[in-house]
Structure 1
Amino acid sequence: MATLGDIGVAAAINILSALAFLVAFAILRLQPFNDRVYFPKWYLRGLRSSPVRSGAFAGKFVNLDFRSYMKFLKWMPDALKMPEPELIDHAGLDSAVYLRIYLLGLKVFVPITFLAFAILVPVNWTNATLEGSNVTFSNIDKLSISNVPNKSQRFWTHLIMAYAFSFWTCYMLYKEYEIVASMRLHFLASEHRRPDQFTVLVRNVPPDPDESVSELVEHFFLVNHPDHYLTHQVVYNANKLAKLVKKKKSMHNWLDYYKLKQERSPDPSKRPTKKTGFLGLWGKRVDSVEYYTSEIEKLSAEEAAERERIIGNPKSIMPVAFVSFKTRWGAAVCAQTQQSRNPTLWLTEWAPEPRDVYWPNLAIPYVSLAVRRLIVAVAFFFLTFFFMIPIAFVQSLANIEGIEKAAPFLKKLIEVKIIKSFIQGFLPGIALKIFLILLPTILMIMSKIEGFIALSALERRSASKYYIFLLINVFLGSIITGTAFQQLNSFIHQSANDIPKTIGVSIPMKATFFITYIMVDGWAGVAGEILRLKPLIIYHLKNFFLVKTEKDREEAMDPGSIGFDSAEPQIQLYFLLGLVYAVVTPILLPFIVVFFGLAFLVFRHQIINVYNQEYESGAAFWPDVHGRIITAMIISQLLLLGLLSTKEAAQSSPLLIVLPVLTIWFHLFCKGRFEPAFIRFPLEEAMRKDILERAKDPNFNLKAYLLNAYIHPVFKDREDDDGSSIHEDFEQDTVLVPTKRQSRKNTPLPSKYGGSSSPSSLPDVQEKP
């Protein structure tokens, strides 16, 4: 079990690591040849160019202005200078609201930390319960609730603090929810015109023997939305074509690499060669340039044939379409209402913005989604269950006695004080961090299999899985397995009835493990994020081997994004740890506060200068953030209730039952008060924005604007055969629905002015272009 000295060693290692990362970043960011690595966002926006250094050749690569090194920490105040409205314009609402999660952590935990250290730490410290027990403990555990004797009146203090902490957290959650909801509505109201504001995604279009999907969609919406339907775009299954395009792009990169290699060779007549086998390890040796040129020609032919097959084959058209309307109001009505008497057909939802669409999943049949999600749920259950094995291994590292029994020959080495402190104070945290590295990628693959069609939805779904995983394995798993390892001797020599009490006493003691994990992941890990070591290396490798033009150099930059699917659940783990241990082991709180402060500074800098978000959801993720913090509160309250029960606090324990009930009521209140702003778009706002836009730009050609917005990316490089867009005449008195349906061939379209129309035997009339 980690002692105060072990925590000190771990703190020293992680503080030095964090400082080393921050200093290295502060120096590397000043070098001209790293400018595109540390400021890619400004380059992508065309607001920054490569630094021009006069003088020696070395000045093009190394900053020789020694005065600039005197201000190498200037990035810290610079990261805080940009006001929030400007940050929203610069990086989007998603990024600005994401930063507010860290601010919320500071608002919640800074007052709680002061209050806990002023009241709870003295109450816990001024006891000697652990010294008189047979429980394994360290000096740091004397600051926890475990050091308070059973049936003590001092538990009233913990009860009152639990209520105070919960009420303060709820108050801050309410205020933050109110602010973010207001920010979202203001953002949507003031946002520039975007295709998704006018577009609805329609799924599960029913098959029809007389009409194609495109004709059926047009017919349905001309009948049911006659005054607002504008145009639509059917979805093609172009997944195979997309793979060919991706493979061709990779071949082009290799061709550029070998051509550049030949140009830079001292002997230009000597042509580069490669083996055609797996990874170039075996096979026939061929001329590299000729080989990749030939492969590209073959892929180009395959690509052209596949493109023609998709366009010419009706089976390539999926029962999915992006339907656009003349007004936001019309789109809002369609997206938020049931379209058919059969609730499983003509399913509508707001279309993601074009950048947000995950095209491969649009080709998945809607009927298979339920089966896919069931299979993924079962796979996730087994993944979570079997991951208990590495969690148990990590906890065994924190138990010196267990290591000595497993490897007796290491006993003398382990007993060296500095090595023992390293093993108990640093190794468990870094081991857990390593085991979790691949997990977000695995969970994202599982979310893609489930069939979500937007990148934002994929990230939110993956984040939900990751949070559940961290809750069950990292939090509960570490407590259970860690307690089993630490108190094994007690379990053996006591009756079964006393085991729950031992576990109850031991839960606060696991704070030492979580402290080491916070320092590894939340201190050194966050500081390592700003250094961007991996993108730095990859950029310079690409720059040396592949870059020939400015466009190549721009593509070599890897700005990345926030990574909501992995970053937000990690933040929620810190909320959970802070709320659970605020009452039982307050010594953990300062480590949480340092994390939130450092992370806010680092990620604000990254969002301003580095990250280039792939999409903008208008902070649609905030209800998930709020819900997970509420979950953490309820877990903390239930664990405290169980802990006080094992401590035989009969008078104070029953009063804690009210707290989870009040927290759930608060969550339902906030859900009803604020969540609609994140799910539905008010018709009032839609109409107001439509009126203002028509008054400002009455002649805007909306159909031309929306015409190619939702075309699959692999088709976007094709020229539009029409050559120009035709302005839609909105003032038609009577238009008949274009259809090839035999049974309802002449369905009339009602006039937008409300005139009656009766069925007639008029011939087919196509929509007037």
Structure 2
Amino acid sequence: MLVSALLTSVGINFGLCVLFFTLYSILRKQPSNYDVYIPRLLVEGTSTRRSGFNLERLIPSPGWVRRAWKLSEDELLSSSGLDAVVFMRIITFCLKIFLVAGIIGVFILLPVNCTGDQLEGVDFVDFSNNSLDVFTISNVDSGSKRLWIHFSAVYVVTVFVCYLLYYEYKYISSKRIAYFLSSKPQPHQFTILVRSIPVSAGNSISDSIDNFFREYHPSTYLSHLVVRRTNKLRNLIHDAKKYYKRIIRLQSNPTQHRYGCNNCFGLFGRNVDLVDHYEKKLEDIEENVRLEQSDVSLAGEEIPAAFVSFKSRYGAAIAFHLQQSINPTHWVTEQAPEPHDVYWPFFSSSFMRRWISKLVVIVACILLTILFLIPVVVVQGLTNLSQLEGWFPFLESILTITFVSEVITGYLPSLILMLFLKTVPPVMELLSSIQGYVSHSAIERSACIKVLWFTIWNIFFATVFSGSVLYQVSIFLEPKNIPAKLAVLVPAQFINVYAPKYETAGKFWPTVHNSMIFSLVLMHAIAVGIFTLKKLSLASTLIFPLAILTLLFNEYCRKRFLPIFTAYPAETLIKKDRADENDAALAEFLDNLVTAYQDPAFTPIHFSSNDGLHSPLISSAEV
């Protein structure tokens, strides 16, 4: 990539950054947009709509950035949970690394690179059209003692990153324990999910569960709730919500056309009031929902999976960690997610089906990664002007225009690549949802890991092998990416917008730690290759101990901190159980625990105006 193309890309993105910043500053102040920018505050009643003209609303202001970062960690913890705190620490962690690495790169390594021999042939009069390669380590003489500065930089960055990783892992681990000890009793702390339940002849799944846990966990077993197939019921509820939204939309806009024909083509038949038409359909669907709820409950549409609750957290932990059966594919246990975190649509009925689903997802991810190489290679071709002219000869006259060529080679590749990348996260989330996970948080963690590996192989390795790695500089230097990240992750899109649906207590951090360790080892491997090409074999040899020490550090962290993110220790569980023994509300909590994991599909829906349809045909206790 040429310097001029890079500067053009930076200029375009900086202009877009200013534009988006201005639009956000203005639009967030408009009362009509409060539902978008501060829905959480509206629901909680801490903010109200203010009507009337106000000139200040039309003037962009940067004060929201300062207020967003002003929030203390304790305030963020109390309002949005430990996950929000961990996400913020991830941001500050990355900024610290970027700051230190940036200082070393710009003020130490860049001057060293500029002293190489290749700069002798550079035409400084036409500097903007020279390649960026003159600023890289490739410009340093082979065998030069100045390469030891790069060697030292590798060691300094590695030590600094490992220090930060250790500090963050230790800090978040302690916060996770403190957060657990200060929390009120939660259903998922007393509950496990049991799948692949064997059923003997003449017994129901519910009977098998009750008999098994009363025999092998008699002192701690409390209750259970069998999972049922509710796919048809969910489809009906989805249709009911769809018609309800249509009715609300028609009623909220009196000027909207409310009449239509009662046939599918709209050509024949009499006009009907759409609101009345949809309300009748909604009543029919609600009646079908009540009937289906009754059929599913009474007909025994059970699958061999259940949420089993215990009288103490320690009792639930024992049942989770111990293998329950001689056959490890029976009575498979896992930690229960929070009730609101449960992903109900997918409850596999067998160990084999879950295993096959994981295999299919792995194959699909590999195929997606391979297919994505096509746009990566095409994008790399755009960064090379001569190659682009060879692919598209009819564009030769247009590409002679300096600005056009700079936009195409400097800005267009990153734009195309980012547009393609936008499709990856939802696809990975879809694949994770069919992999057998039973919680939204587990699905999102799995999707994040898939996106991470996809990015590593397609955006880094594929870029290196298909073109110049310096193309990545244009991505990292795009100013518009900085406010985009901040707008999503600063303490405010937690306070003003998002009401957390679940809490994992910082379980995302080990993924960040592992990613950084992988990045460090990859940096060491690249350094070995570079020093070998530069004929500095001693430096290549001395990099190997650094990689080994990094892996040993990672193993220490896995032994020291990772178990805390997998499950809470017995010391913590027993301490928390003893603290709750004197809590008068614990008995009421255990009584309500029986129905805490009831499938929301069995909850009566209240959309139509017919009050007779609001009560279920059966009680929740029978479910």
Fold shared by both chains (TM-score > 0.5) = yes
> Which amino acid is 1:187 matched to?
Y
Residues 722, 400 of structure 1: alpha-carbon distance in 2 compared, 3 angstrom cutoff: closer
**In structure 2, C-alpha distance between the alignment counterparts of 1:656 and 1:283, rounded to whole Å:** 80
SS in 2 for 1:369: helix
Which of 312, 324, 327 aligns to 2:298? It is 312
1:510-589 map, 5 Å: 510-511=469-470, 513-520=471-478, 523-525=479-481, 527=483, 529=484
SS in 2 for 1:695: coil
Is residue 17 of structure 1 aligned with residue 6 of structure 2? Answer: no
Shift of 1:174: 0.6
Residues 385, 91 of structure 1: alpha-carbon distance in 2 compared, 3 angstrom cutoff: same
> Which amino acid is 2:473 matched to?
I
- Comparing 648-657 with 383-392, greater Cα deviation is found at 648-657
Is residue 341 of structure 1 aligned with residue 326 of structure 2? Answer: yes
Shift of 1:89: 1.0
Deviations 1:120-161 (A, max 9, x none): 11211101237679xxx9443222101012222222221121
**In structure 1, C-alpha distance between the alignment counterparts of 2:482 and 2:417, rounded to whole Å:** 16
**In structure 1, C-alpha distance between the alignment counterparts of 2:429 and 2:489, rounded to whole Å:** 25
> Which amino acid is 1:295 matched to?
K
The alignment's TM-score, normalised by the length of structure 1, stands at: 0.75
Deviations 1:96-133 (A, max 9, x none): 10111111112222122222333211211101237679
Shift of 1:623: 1.0
**In structure 2, C-alpha distance between the alignment counterparts of 1:227 and 1:142, rounded to whole Å:** 73
RMSD of the alignment, in Å? 2.5
> Which amino acid is 2:406 matched to?
S
> Which amino acid is 1:409 matched to?
F
SS in 2 for 1:361: coil
- Contact 1:6–1:422 (8 Å) recurs in 2: yes
2:223: which partner in 1? 231
Residues 281, 471 of structure 1: alpha-carbon distance in 2 compared, 3 angstrom cutoff: farther
Is residue 663 of structure 1 aligned with residue 550 of structure 2? Answer: yes
- Contact 2:414–2:475 (8 Å) recurs in 1: yes
- Contact 1:124–1:143 (8 Å) recurs in 2: yes
**In structure 2, C-alpha distance between the alignment counterparts of 1:414 and 1:433, rounded to whole Å:** 23
**In structure 1, C-alpha distance between the alignment counterparts of 2:281 and 2:620, rounded to whole Å:** 33
> Which amino acid is 1:652 matched to?
A
- Contact 1:79–1:608 (8 Å) recurs in 2: no
**In structure 2, C-alpha distance between the alignment counterparts of 1:629 and 1:201, rounded to whole Å:** 32
**In structure 2, C-alpha distance between the alignment counterparts of 1:627 and 1:445, rounded to whole Å:** 23
**In structure 1, C-alpha distance between the alignment counterparts of 2:154 and 2:269, rounded to whole Å:** 72
> Which amino acid is 1:308 matched to?
S
- Contact 1:373–1:450 (8 Å) recurs in 2: yes
**In structure 2, C-alpha distance between the alignment counterparts of 1:107 and 1:176, rounded to whole Å:** 12
**In structure 1, C-alpha distance between the alignment counterparts of 2:308 and 2:481, rounded to whole Å:** 45
1:221: which partner in 2? 213
Residues 516, 721 of structure 1: alpha-carbon distance in 2 compared, 3 angstrom cutoff: same
Shift of 1:260: 4.7
- Contact 1:206–1:346 (8 Å) recurs in 2: yes
Residues 712, 282 of structure 1: alpha-carbon distance in 2 compared, 3 angstrom cutoff: farther
2:315: which partner in 1? 330
Shift of 1:366: 3.0
Deviations 1:218-273 (A, max 9, x none): 11111111111111111011112111111121022223334555x436xxxx8511
SS in 1 for 2:222: strand
- Contact 1:206–1:345 (8 Å) recurs in 2: yes
Shift of 1:364: 4.4
- Contact 1:91–1:608 (8 Å) recurs in 2: yes
Q: Unaligned 5+ residue runs, structure 2?
A: 123-128, 605-614
- Contact 1:178–1:674 (8 Å) recurs in 2: yes
> Which amino acid is 2:559 matched to?
G
**In structure 1, C-alpha distance between the alignment counterparts of 2:267 and 2:518, rounded to whole Å:** 55
SS in 2 for 1:676: helix
Shift of 1:343: 1.9
- Contact 1:326–1:702 (8 Å) recurs in 2: no
> Which amino acid is 1:305 matched to?
L
1:254: which partner in 2? 246
Deviations 1:318-352 (A, max 9, x none): 11111111111211221222222222211212100
Which of 350, 362, 375 aligns to 1:377? It is 362
Shift of 1:603: 2.6
1:185-584 map, 5 Å: 185-260=177-252, 263-264=254-255, 271-273=258-260, 277=264, 287=272, 288-314=274-300, 316-483=301-468, 510-511=469-470, 513-520=471-478, 523-525=479-481, 527=483, 529=484
Is residue 83 of structure 1 aligned with residue 72 of structure 2? Answer: yes
Deviations 1:574-615 (A, max 9, x none): xxxxxxxxxxxxxxxxxxxxxxxx638953221221123321
Residues 284, 356 of structure 1: alpha-carbon distance in 2 compared, 3 angstrom cutoff: farther
**In structure 2, C-alpha distance between the alignment counterparts of 1:255 and 1:33, rounded to whole Å:** 21
- Contact 2:380–2:466 (8 Å) recurs in 1: yes
Which of 470, 476, 496 aligns to 1:609? It is 496
Q: Unaligned 5+ residue runs, structure 1?
A: 54-58, 484-509, 530-597, 726-769
- Comparing 706-715 with 408-417, greater Cα deviation is found at 408-417
> Which amino acid is 2:476 matched to?
I
- Contact 2:348–2:436 (8 Å) recurs in 1: no
**In structure 2, C-alpha distance between the alignment counterparts of 1:275 and 1:648, rounded to whole Å:** 82
**In structure 2, C-alpha distance between the alignment counterparts of 1:643 and 1:332, rounded to whole Å:** 50
1:706: which partner in 2? 593
SS in 2 for 1:359: coil
Shift of 1:44: 2.8
- Contact 1:238–1:310 (8 Å) recurs in 2: yes
**In structure 1, C-alpha distance between the alignment counterparts of 2:177 and 2:169, rounded to whole Å:** 12
Shift of 1:282: 8.6
> Which amino acid is 1:607 matched to?
F
**In structure 2, C-alpha distance between the alignment counterparts of 1:274 and 1:611, rounded to whole Å:** 41
Residues 705, 526 of structure 1: alpha-carbon distance in 2 compared, 3 angstrom cutoff: farther
The alignment's TM-score, normalised by the length of structure 2, stands at: 0.91
Deviations 1:653-706 (A, max 9, x none): 111122221111111010001001000111221121122222232663233221
- Contact 2:14–2:480 (8 Å) recurs in 1: yes
Deviations 1:553-573 (A, max 9, x none): xxxxxxxxxxxxxxxxxxxxx
Is residue 34 of structure 1 aligned with residue 42 of structure 2? Answer: no
**In structure 1, C-alpha distance between the alignment counterparts of 2:504 and 2:547, rounded to whole Å:** 32
Count of matched residue positions in the alignment of Structure 1 and Structure 2 = 605
2:541: which partner in 1? 654
SS in 2 for 1:318: strand
**In structure 1, C-alpha distance between the alignment counterparts of 2:328 and 2:320, rounded to whole Å:** 14
Residues 195, 159 of structure 1: alpha-carbon distance in 2 compared, 3 angstrom cutoff: same
Shift of 1:84: 0.2
**In structure 2, C-alpha distance between the alignment counterparts of 1:283 and 1:370, rounded to whole Å:** 53
**In structure 2, C-alpha distance between the alignment counterparts of 1:351 and 1:283, rounded to whole Å:** 55
> Which amino acid is 1:477 matched to?
A
**In structure 1, C-alpha distance between the alignment counterparts of 2:562 and 2:371, rounded to whole Å:** 36
Deviations 1:194-230 (A, max 9, x none): 1111111111111221321111111111111111111
**In structure 2, C-alpha distance between the alignment counterparts of 1:290 and 1:366, rounded to whole Å:** 48
- Comparing 601-610 with 152-161, greater Cα deviation is found at 601-610
Residues 412, 723 of structure 1: alpha-carbon distance in 2 compared, 3 angstrom cutoff: closer
**In structure 2, C-alpha distance between the alignment counterparts of 1:247 and 1:722, rounded to whole Å:** 23
> Which amino acid is 1:443 matched to?
M
**In structure 2, C-alpha distance between the alignment counterparts of 1:650 and 1:344, rounded to whole Å:** 52
1:767: which partner in 2? none
- Contact 1:231–1:703 (8 Å) recurs in 2: no
> Which amino acid is 2:20 matched to?
F
- Contact 2:580–2:586 (8 Å) recurs in 1: no
> Which amino acid is 2:480 matched to?
A
Residues 253, 131 of structure 1: alpha-carbon distance in 2 compared, 3 angstrom cutoff: same
**In structure 2, C-alpha distance between the alignment counterparts of 1:71 and 1:10, rounded to whole Å:** 25
Residues 653, 200 of structure 1: alpha-carbon distance in 2 compared, 3 angstrom cutoff: same
